Amino acid sequence: MEKRLQLAIEVRAGIIPGEPMEEYSKNWYLSRDEFEDKDTWLAAAGAAHLYALTLQNPERLNWVRLEWVWM
């Protein structure tokens, strides 16, 4: 049975606005079953937010974006 995607969280960052640098890009994708497990959902959301927070360093990058989409 194919797992259906329920949640996508993406963190992108870079120096030039709107041009993400691959080395700072990370994704978290959760299936419906994973999303229904609150511990799994909270762990993924927490990891994404923490990662975005660690990238907020103006000596290294100019922008950071965290986006999430519910399917």
Per-residue confidence (pLDDT) for residue 33, from 0 to 100: 87
Q: Which uninterrupted H or E stretch holds 12?
A: strand 5-14
The residue ranges of every structural domain in the chain are: 5-70
Q: What is the pLDDT of residues 21-60, one digit of tens each?
A: 999 999 999 998 888 888 998 999 999 999 999 999 999 9
Indicate if the pLDDT at residue 62 is higher than 60: yes
- Cβ–Cβ under 8 Å, residues 41 and 33: no
Res. 5: pLDDT tops 90: no
Q: How far apart, in whole angstroms, are the C-alpha atoms of residue 33 and residue 55?
A: 30
